[in-house]
A and B are shown apart, each in its own frame.
Chain A
Amino acid sequence: MNVLPLMVALPLGMGFLIPMVSRKNRRTADVLGNLATLSLLIMSLYLFRIGNQIYFMGGWKPPLGINLVLDGLSAFFLLIVNLVAFIVTLYSVDYMEIYTSKLRYYSLFLLMLAGMNGVVLTGDIFNLFVFLEIAVISAYALVGFGTEAEELEASFKYLVLGTVSSVFILLGIGFLYSLTGTLNLADIGSKISGISGGHAFWFVVILFVFGFGLKAALVPFHAWLPDAHPSAPASISAVLSGLLIKALGIYPFLRIFYNIFGFPLLETRFIPQILMFLGGASMLTGALLALVQNDIKRMFAYSSISNIGYIVIAFSLGTPLGIMAALLHTFVHATSKALLFLSAGSLEYRLETRDIKKMGGLMEKMPITGISGDIGFLSLAGIPPLAGFWSKLFIILALLDAGRLGWAIFTILVSVLTLGYYLRMNRYVFFGPLKNNLQRIKESPVFMTASMLILSLITVFLGVILLPHLRSIVLDPAVRTLINGTKYISMVMGG
């Protein structure tokens, strides 16, 4: 059976089904939501076994109809998205009890998931825009889910900036259509090579850098992220920081610049150069601002900006090692940052504050939250046996390999800053003397601790045991897809 359309159809259908069938019993929503994400996770693992595949919607062949394309890169992103989404739904069973409307939460969450899966799978650029809008509109609503004053303010800010960037992406798509007369990504790729020198082509590239750069929160366009990510419920912050900025920001960059525009773009060093500077600015700004934050989730949000910088620097090198490092860091950041946000949510659930100055000594009161928070922080700070160390090492090696010594030293310095702000967080939150008013704090409920434990195990094993296997099964096909560049076109158009 062909499971590709189900990756989009299942969360979309469930998103509307859940609020209809589970009005009487709220447990039905929990069960259905978790079943949906679990089956999506199983399907995304199964997709690794069937290799490259194309699904023609309604049987229309590529230049005419919309098609869903599965290759190494899509399978890689699908695995990350559905893995973190499953753990987050498990976590929400207990966590979302503090909010009033769990049904709508699951509904919006699954719609966002459908949008992300769709963006990653689709082979049509306008379809990509539609799925992107499905994902971000649900994200706007989820950021303001608590409807407190600050949350609404953050959500409105996100909505305004997000809509402006979407408008520019749509303008770019319009230009591409008038240049090539087609909307299919592979078909655009085959027709763009003749006109790729013109002004209109460069205008499209700049529009896409702006549009997708805002979705990925690269530095000059990052203003919405430190407000929006902390304001959402913690489970949603984990998805926004871990997945959304990558599936809607990094993935279109990779797909469009490597597979569709291909060589003309990479041969002129202009766009990679711009992306490297944006990435470097993101790394430094995110790390410096994270150093001074007292709000724990806001600190993690700035750290996300910094980590997006690492990913962008690595993939704009364009070498196989750089792309591998970028994809590995995408995976590591998705799991570790989700873990950090989930433990921050667990702290907020019990303490009802996000100010790290009001916490202290919580390791003995909330051991599982403490350990999983520490594993996430050690991984992202780059402490040896954990996965974050390897991905940062690969990024630095890739920079050295490409002969960019200055950037490599810069990356090492920013890593030291990263370690600095995580140590500061750790000292205030988990260690030090226990405050008197925190004596009666208990560990979080079972579903929250269970999901954090699963995610910490994944983070630990990713670095220690899984890395060689992960590389051969998951990473290499994705790297090969990007290195082969415009082979994507012949795969879609030929099949």
Chain B
Amino acid sequence: MEYILSFVLLMIGLYCVATKKNIVKIVIGLNIMEYAINLFLILIGYRRGGIAPIRTPDMSLAYFLRYSVDPLPQALVVTSIVIGFGVLALSVSMAIRIYERYGTFDINEIKRLKG
């Protein structure tokens, strides 16, 4: 169920990128897509009723393996969030520069390149 929701989120982001005319909305769409993937990665390692993947001394190994969630996707998501932040910062600063040059955020008016 949660997987389907993250795919719905991905499709919403893709729809936003593909159809919106405003540069800022496209940037928002890109971020929705990235967060859909982050959610998906977290769900891969998730386990219902699981505990944090930290093993305390009083915990047996079998108990830990049985109940803890997979920590690796969480590490991936942290990296992925940082990358997403880099792309977001670059795209927003680029949107500002585009606004300075063209005086608009509308991609229908930003088409000096042909083809």
Which residues of A are interface residues toward B (Cβ below 8 A)? Answer: 126, 130, 133, 137, 140-141, 144, 147-150, 152-156, 159-160, 163-164, 167, 170-171, 174, 177-178, 183, 226-227, 231, 289, 298
Contact = CB atoms under 8 A, between A and B. Distances in A.
B93 to A, nearest CB: 9
Contacts of A167: 10, 30, 33-34, 37
15 contacts: A140-B90, A144-B94, A149-B98, A153-B110, A153-B112, A163-B33, A163-B34, A163-B87, A164-B14, A174-B44, A177-B44, A177-B72, A177-B76, A178-B44, A231-B113
Given A133-B87, A147-B97, 8 more contacts: A149-B98, A153-B113, A155-B94, A160-B26, A163-B30, A177-B44, A231-B113, A289-B115
A159 B94 contact: yes
A211 B44 CA distance: 21
B97 to A, nearest CB: 5
A237 B10 CA distance: 32
Contacts of B113: 150, 153-154, 227, 231
Nearest to A154: B113
B52 interface: no
B41 interface: yes
A137 B87 CA distance: 7
Nearest to B94: A156
Contacts of B10: 167, 171
Given A137-B86, A137-B87, A159-B87, A174 B41 contact: yes
Chain A contact surface mostly? helix
Interface string B6-27: 0000100010010000010010
Contact of B94 (A133, A148, A152, A298): A152
Nearest to A223: B115
B30, B40, B80, B112 interface centre (most CB from chain A within 10 Å):
B80
B68 interface: no
Contact of B33 (A164, A178, A183): A164
Interface in B20-54: 23, 26, 30, 33-34, 37, 40-41, 44
A153 B76 CA distance: 31
Nearest to A140: B90
B83 A130 contact: yes
A298 B114 CA distance: 10
A254 B90 CA distance: 30
Contacts of B115: 226-227, 289, 298
A126 B101 contact: no
In order of increasing CB-CB distance, the 5 nearest A-B pairs are A149-B101, A178-B44, A133-B83, A167-B33, A227-B113
A159 B91 contact: yes
A153 B10 CA distance: 25
Given A149-B101, A153-B98, A160-B26, A170 B37 contact: yes
A289 B114 CA distance: 12
Contact of A156 (B23, B40, B41): B23
A164 B98 CA distance: 20
A293 B62 CA distance: 67
A231 B94 CA distance: 15
Contacts of A150: 112-113
Given A126-B79, A159-B90, A164 B112 contact: no
Nearest to A147: B97
Nearest to B7: A171
B98 to A, nearest CB: 5
A153 B111 contact: yes
Contacts of B34: 163, 167
B30 to A, nearest CB: 5
A130 B79 contact: yes
A126, A153, A155, A167 interface centre (most CB from chain B within 10 Å):
A167
A66 B101 CA distance: 44
A203 to B, nearest CB: 12
B30 A160 contact: yes
A144 B101 CA distance: 13
Nearest to B110: A153
A178 B14 CA distance: 23
Nearest to A156: B94
Nearest to B33: A167
A407 B110 CA distance: 40
Contacts of A133: 83, 86-87
B37 A174 contact: yes
A140 B88 CA distance: 12
A123 B62 CA distance: 31
